[in-house]
Chain A
Amino acid sequence: MVTIYIDGKPYQVDAGQNLLHICLSMGINLPYFCWHPAMGSVGACRQCAVKQFRDENDTRGRLVMACMTPAVEGLRISVQDPQAVEFRASIIEWLMENHPHDCPVCDEGGECHLQDMTVMTGHTYRHYRWKKRTFRNQNLGPFINHEMNRCIQCYRCVRFYRGFAGGRDFDAFSNHNTVYFGRKTDGVLESEFSGNLVEVCPTGVFTDKTFRKHYTRKWDLQTAPSVCVNCSLGCNTTPGERYGQLRRIRNRYNFNVNGYFLCDRGRYGYEFVNSDRRIRQARLRRNREAAFESVAPDEGLQRIKEIVKKSGRTIGIGSPRASLESNFALRTLVGPEHFFSGATVKDHELVTEAIKILRDIPSSMASLHEVETSDAALVLGEDVNNVAPMAAYALRQSVRCKPQAISQKLKISDWDDTAAREAVQDQKGPLYLATIADTRLDDMATRTFHASPQEIARLGFAVAHQISPTAPQPENLDSAALELSKMIAQDLKDAESPVVVSGCSLEEKSILYAAANVVQALRSIGKPARLFLTLPESNSLGLELLEPGSLNQAFAIAREDNVEAAIILENDLYRRSNPALLEAFFKSIPSVIVLDSLDNPTAQKADVLLPAATFAESDGTLVNNESRAQRYFQVFVPQDDIKESWVWLRAIGDALGQEEPGARKTFDGLIADMVKELPFLAPVQEISPASGFRIAGAKIPRQPHRYSGRTSMHANVSVHEPQPPQDPDSPLSFSMEGFLAEPPIEQPPASLIPEFWAPGWNSIQSLNKFQEEVSGPLIGGDPGKRIILPPDPEQAAYFDEIPEPFASRAGELLLAPLYAIYGSEELSIHTPGEAQLTPPLRLEINPRDAQQFNLTGETVLQVSVDSQVFELPLHISASIPEGTAGMICGLPEMPYVALPAWGKVTPKPVNSSTENPG
C-alpha cells in the first residue's frame, strides 16, 4: 500500500497498480477506451490522460496516461486539472471525427461506452465538417452484426479475439485512416467466444445479431439475475425481455465463475424460449391412439387427480436441466423411494461418483477463476471447448501465468499488456491435453495425447504414480505414455497451483478416478492442487444430490411393480435411453404425465402434458460443476397457461389433498422444506435473501427507471393501465417502481441486482461501480455458494480401479463420444443460428482403420451398436486413435446410444433398405 494524492486528496492504494484502475476503483470517473478491466492497458487511445506533478510545489505538471502510470508512494495527480480536461475532450473529438452521427438509430445506443465517455468529457460540438470515411461491412455469421463505420480504433476487439480468445480468423487490416477490424473475407467467426466482441467493443461496430432480429431499446428491457442453462459451468447472465419475448442475453459478472465473458452457446442459446415448439397449453388425450386436445389447466389437474388417485403407485423422473426446487418438489410428491434420476444411466453413475470424489478427497474444487489463475494444468478426457466452453477460455489464460515470472523479473506490471506479452513472446506455461481427438485448445498445449478413454485414464494413473509412488501404477504402459507421464508429473510438481481438469464426457469412471489420484498425489507432497470436473448438464449435480434411483431402476419398477403413473419432469427421455427400452417403459405405464417447455418425443408420449416455464420464466437454483448453488429469477411472467414446474407440482399435490407442510405453498417454504429434509443443502437458503426482503420498505424493480411505455404498452388490449403482476416468490418486482439503486453508495445484494447500471454509465462498464475494486469481487460478495466443502485434509485412499490396456478388436471399433458446441446440447439448438452451425452426422475414423476396413472417402457406413443400426457418413480423421471411432453425440437426428461401446462398421450395402435414424 502506498499513499497517492488525487486532486489534493490522499488515497491508500495498491503499489504498482495503474492509476486508471485505481481511479475507477475509488469511484472517480475517468474516461477510457483501449483499457479493459480484463485485458489490461496498452496506452493506445490517450483518453485517460491526467496531470502528474513532481511534488506539492510543482504547479505545471505534465500529462500522463493514467492507464500506463503505476502508483508509487507520494505520487500526485489531478484528474480535474483544466488542461487534462481539455485534452480529454479533444481526444474524444478526434476519435469521433469519422464516427457517424447515428446514435438515435444505432443498435448500441443507450448502452454505449462511447456515448457515456463523450458525455463524461463534456465534448458536445464537433468542428470536423468534411466527408467521413466509410467501409464495407462483413457478414460475420448468425451471431454478430458488423458496422465498421462506428469504429474508433481502440483495438480492443482484436486484442480480445486473438490475444485472449485465441481466434485466428480476425485481425486489424490496413493502416492510418482506414484501419479495418474484421475477417479477411466474409464468413462465420470461428471462435466460440466471438459474442464477447459485442461487449468488448466500446461502440456499435459489433452488435448482437439475434437481438437485432427482435430489437428493443436497451432501457425498455425487463431483466433479472440469471444463470446459463447450456452447460454445467453455470455462468451468470442477464437475460432481457419485452412483450413476453426473450430478446437477448448479456454477460453478468461473477468474480468466481465467468468474470467478464460468456461463450457463444450460452449467449445465443436463449431463443428456445421463444420457439414455435413451446408447449403453451395443458393437453390431454383420452387414450394412446387419440389426438391431443388442449384443455384448461384445471381440467388437466382434474385428470391427474383421477389418474393418481386410483394409482397404486406413481413414480417421478427428475431432470438434470430442471431446478433443484422442481426436482425436490417432484421427489416430495412421489416420495424419495419413487424418485428417479432423469439422467442417462451412465451420467447418473458418473455424477454420483463425482459427488463422492468431491466429498471424500481433501482437495478443493477449482472455480473457473481458479482454473484461469493456475500455473499448470492437466486435462484428462474433456474436450472443453465443446463441453464446457468457458473452461477452455480459462485454460487459455492459465498458460500465461507461469511465464509472467519473465515479465515480472523485468519489472513489467501484469496489467501492462503489450509489454508483458512482448517480454514473454511465445512462451507458455504447462498445459497437457489428453483427449480422444484434436481440440481447439491444442494450439496452447505443451503436449497432446490422443487415445481411447481407457488409455487416457491409464495415463492419469501413471502421472499420479510418478508424483507419489504410493499411488497405484498401471501395468504395461507403453513407453511413450510413460515418458509423457513423467514429463507431466514434473511440471505439475513444479507448479505453485496446479489444476486437473476432467469430467464425465467420455463416460468413463476410471478417468475420474485417475484425475482424483493425480490431485491426491500432488496434495500428498504439499501442492495445493485443485480438481475441476465438468458435468453433463446445468443441474446434473443438483439432481444427483437428491439421491434419486437410476433410470434403469425406474424401468424395472415399471415392469415389475404395477406402477400406475409416471410424472416426467422437464426431460426428453429419448435423449437418455435406448428407444426400445423406452417404448417398453411407456407401454408398461398406464398414465404418463409430462411437464416440459418444448415439444419433444417424450411429450408426445404423454397422457397429460403440462406447459412448464423455462429458466427465463422461473425462479430456481442450479448447482454447477463445482457444487456452487446459484439462484436465477423470473425475468418475466410466463404467458398462456405456462407455469413453473414446482408450481404445477404443488398444484398436483393440492389436488391430491396431500398432507403438506403449509409452508410449501411458497418458494421460500419449498426451500425450507428441502433444507430440513436434506440439511447439507443449507447453503441454498443463504444464496439470496428470502422473498420478504425489502430495502427501505421497497422491492427491487426489474424494469429500469427509464423503461418506456408502461401506461401504453398494452393499450391495444385495454386502455386502462394493468396492475403489474405480483411476485410472491422473490424480493424483485415486475415494475419500474421500488428501490432505486445508487451504486456504490446503496445497492441491493449482488444476487438481486437485475442489471448493472449506474448514472453516467449505461454500458456494461458500469460494473466498475459494483465491484470492491476493478476486476475484483462484487460489493458484498459474489452470489452463489458451494454446497460441497472440502473434507478435513486427511489422506483418503487412492483409487485403484485401473483399466486394462486398450486392445483393438477385429472387425469392430470402439465408438467414443465426441461433442459439438452447437448440436450436442439439447436446448440451444432451438436457436436458428446455433442450429445452422451444427455439424452433420458422421462417424470419424482413423485413416489406417479406414484402409483396413476398406472404407474410402465418400462411403456411407452402417454402424451396429447396442442393438441399433445407424447409417452415418464416413469422415476420415487422422487424430482419431486407431481402433476407435468418434461419433458426435446429442445431435437431434441421432437416437441415444450409450457410448463408449464396441460397434461393427461396414460400408452400407448397395440398395440397402435400412432407414436413416430420426
Chain B
Amino acid sequence: MNQLATKYKDEISRIMAKYPPEYRRSAVMPLLYLAQREMGYLTDEAMQEIAEITEMGVTEVASIVGFYTLFHDQPGGKYRMQVCTDLPCALRGADRFLEELCQNLGIQPGETTPDGLLQIEEVKCLAACHRAPMYQVQSPEGLTFYEHQTVESALEVIAGLRASEQGKGGQA
C-alpha cells in the first residue's frame, strides 16, 4: 500500500499541484507514467494506488490503461518494438515486414525474446504512414521512431540495443 506515495512523495505532490484540487483525476496520466517508469508495467497495486490518489475508481484507471498502447498491464520485454500494421502501412508491406522479422527472431507478435530484451507488438497508426514499414521502440528512456524499415535494418537496430545493454551490463 502506498508504495508510490512513499517513494515518490515529492514528485507526486509536484504532479498533483498542477491540477485544481477538485479535479484530482486529471493527474491520472502523469501518475500512470510515473508508475510504469518505476516497474516497467502497471501492476494492480499501482493502479489501485493511483485510483486512491486521484479519487477515481480502479475500474476507470484500468480502462485508461487499456485504451493507450503505451501503457501496459502485463510485464514484457525491456524494449517494446511497436510495429504499425494499420491499413496504410499494410499497403506498404508492413504485415510482411512484421512476419519476416518475427520469423528471424523466432517469436510471434506479442511475444518477448527469451532473454527478456525485446517484445514485438502490433499497433495502430503512428502517423508515419508514408514512411512505412515503420515502428517505434518504447524503452525506459522514452520513444524512438524508425521509418523506411526493412527486416535487415530492424535486425541492426535490435543488435544495437543488445550491444548497448551488454555494454551497460559490462560496466555494472
- Known contacts A175-B124, A176-B124, A168 near B66 by CB under 8 Å: no
**B102 CB–A CB distance under 8 Å:** no
In the assembled complex, the Cα of A22 lies from the Cα of B58 at a distance in Å of 40
**Smallest Cβ distance from A329 to chain B, in angstroms?**
52
Is B60 in contact with A168, judged by CB distance below 8 angstroms?
yes
Determine the main DSSP class of B at the interface with A.
helix
- Known contacts A173-B66, A175-B66, A168 near B124 by CB under 8 Å: no
Determine the main DSSP class of A at the interface with B.
loop
**B103 CB–A CB distance under 8 Å:** no
**A421 CB–B CB distance under 8 Å:** no
Interface size class of B (residues with CB under 8 A): 10 to 19
Chain B residue at minimum C-beta to C-beta distance from A174: B66
Contact of A172 among B58, B63, B68, B124 (CB under 8 A): B63
In the assembled complex, the Cα of A174 lies from the Cα of B63 at a distance in Å of 7
Q: Contacts A171-B60, A175-B66 given; 6 further ones with Cβ under 8 A? A: A168-B57, A168-B59, A171-B62, A173-B62, A174-B66, A175-B68
Is B67 in contact with A169, judged by CB distance below 8 angstroms?
no
Is B67 in contact with A174, judged by CB distance below 8 angstroms?
yes
User: Chain B contacts of A175 at CB under 8 A?
Assistant: 66-69, 124
Is B124 in contact with A171, judged by CB distance below 8 angstroms?
no
**Would you list which residues of chain A between 175 and 221 have a CB under 8 Å from chain B?**
175-176, 180, 183-184
In the assembled complex, the Cα of A169 lies from the Cα of B22 at a distance in Å of 22
In the assembled complex, the Cα of A184 lies from the Cα of B59 at a distance in Å of 6
Chain A residue at minimum C-beta to C-beta distance from B57: A168
**Smallest Cβ distance from A190 to chain B, in angstroms?**
10
In the assembled complex, the Cα of A174 lies from the Cα of B66 at a distance in Å of 4
**Would you list which residues of chain B between 46 and 64 have a CB under 8 Å from chain A?**
57-60, 62-63
User: Chain A contacts of B22 at CB under 8 A?
Assistant: 426
User: Chain B contacts of A426 at CB under 8 A?
Assistant: 22
In the assembled complex, the Cα of A173 lies from the Cα of B71 at a distance in Å of 12
**A268 CB–B CB distance under 8 Å:** no
**Would you list which residues of chain A between 131 and 186 have a CB under 8 Å from chain B?**
168-176, 180, 183-184
**Would you list which residues of chain B between 98 and 121 have a CB under 8 Å from chain A?**
none
User: Chain B contacts of A176 at CB under 8 A?
Assistant: 124
Chain B contacts to A: CB under 8 angstroms: 22, 57-60, 62-63, 66-69, 124
User: Chain A contacts of B63 at CB under 8 A?
Assistant: 171-173
**Smallest Cβ distance from A821 to chain B, in angstroms?**
20
Is B57 in contact with A169, judged by CB distance below 8 angstroms?
yes
In the assembled complex, the Cα of A180 lies from the Cα of B57 at a distance in Å of 17
In the assembled complex, the Cα of A888 lies from the Cα of B76 at a distance in Å of 49
User: Chain B contacts of A180 at CB under 8 A?
Assistant: 66
Is B59 in contact with A169, judged by CB distance below 8 angstroms?
yes
- Known contacts A175-B124, A176-B124, A183 near B66 by CB under 8 Å: no
In the assembled complex, the Cα of A175 lies from the Cα of B66 at a distance in Å of 7
Can you give 12 contacting A-B residue pairs, CB < 8 Å?
A168-B57, A169-B57, A171-B63, A172-B66, A174-B66, A175-B67, A175-B68, A175-B124, A176-B124, A183-B59, A184-B58, A426-B22
Chain A residue at minimum C-beta to C-beta distance from B47: A184
- Known contacts A175-B67, A175-B69, A184 near B62 by CB under 8 Å: yes
Is B69 in contact with A171, judged by CB distance below 8 angstroms?
no
Chain B residue at minimum C-beta to C-beta distance from A171: B63
Is B59 in contact with A170, judged by CB distance below 8 angstroms?
yes
User: Chain A contacts of B59 at CB under 8 A?
Assistant: 168-171, 183-184
**Smallest Cβ distance from B143 to chain A, in angstroms?**
18
User: Chain B contacts of A170 at CB under 8 A?
Assistant: 59
User: Chain A contacts of B57 at CB under 8 A?
Assistant: 168-169
In the assembled complex, the Cα of A210 lies from the Cα of B156 at a distance in Å of 58
In the assembled complex, the Cα of A184 lies from the Cα of B56 at a distance in Å of 14
In the assembled complex, the Cα of A552 lies from the Cα of B122 at a distance in Å of 75
User: Chain B contacts of A171 at CB under 8 A?
Assistant: 59-60, 62-63
**Smallest Cβ distance from A611 to chain B, in angstroms?**
47
